[in-house]
Amino acid sequence: MTSATQSAAPAARRNLGIAAPLRVSVAAAVNAVRRTTPLAQSLTNFVTINLVANAQLAVGGTAAMHYSGEEAAALDHGASKATYINMGTLLEPFRTEYPAAARDAAEHGLPWVLDPVGAGAGELRGAILRAFAATPPDIIRCNASEAIALAGIWGLDGADSRSRAGVEASDEVDEAIPAAHALARFTGGVVSVSGAVDLVTDGDADYRLPGGSRWMTKITGAGCSLGGVTATYACVTDPLTAAVSAALHYNRAADSAEREANGPGSFQTAFLDALWNTTADEIAQSPIYMEKDMS
């Protein structure tokens, strides 16, 4: 048990029933994406852009990849229903382009998803992330270290005084719970923290989502593409349902792909196929453990 878990407020945990409203909403979101093929535009990093686009297509969405605030504004005027911003590989022009894309999404009432890759590493990344505090994301998709680092950048509770960068998680999900709660309450949205057991929180209730595959850590872009798929789901439903739907879809597909794969290369191919083939009912009936603060 981590120190964060020891100091957390008492919580009651239960597996949601098969007819729970959240499960119904997840199934509806999966079907809506496949029926309407919504466009979620992505400003994402160079290393993982191909997998992000292919994952969005494999769940039933439509992809548009670019790096321009001007293009974001043009797409927000009708075509795009959500925006995904990933902080992976940055260039100096992104100092203004990324915050402009976030502002434009907010001005048009469109949800946007942030993946704060490498939060805590470098002046440029820190400046962009600080700028986002003025137009907070509807969903933050991150690992535990990134959640803790971002809370520090925004001056929130749950931050850690240690210098850290969150490209690869060095913290466990439970260590990031205070930061995730603080981020969710600050943004008024949802935080999705990936790990051995994923955490999705709105700052009040926590949802633990087990599943996934050991091979996910052996392909580059697993987390980045989850952020893109989360944005696809945000096109058709509320932030909590979108984050839970994306994580469940990923975990279920990864479980299936691992049974077919012989290594990381074949896993990635099988994973994209499984994203396409996994049914709405299979996704919605995956384990969802709810913990609600009882203090």
Known binding-site positions for substrate: 65, 221
Enter the tokens of residue 276. 């396409």
CB burial string 249-266: b at 16+ within 10 A, e below: bbbbbbbbbbeebeeeee
Return d(Cα 237, Cα 69) in angstroms, integer. Answer: 24
- Comparing CA positions, the residue from 270, 241, 273 lying closest to residue 258 is 270
Binding residues: 65, 141, 194, 221
Residues 6+ apart with CB under 8 A from 280: 26, 27, 30, 31, 34
**What DSSP designation does 170 have?**
-
H-state helical runs in the chain? 3-7, 21-36, 49-58, 69-76, 94-107, 123-132, 144-153, 177-187, 222-234, 239-260, 264-277, 280-284
How many residues make up the chain in this entry? 295
Instruction: Write phi, then psi, for 54 (nearest 5 degrees).
Output: -65, -35
Return d(Cα 134, Cα 126) in angstroms, integer. Answer: 14
Return d(Cα 164, Cα 170) in angstroms, integer. Answer: 9
Enter the tokens of residue 102. 């976030």
Enter the tokens of residue 36. 């309407």
Enter the tokens of residue 288. 């969802």
Binding residues for ATP: 141, 194
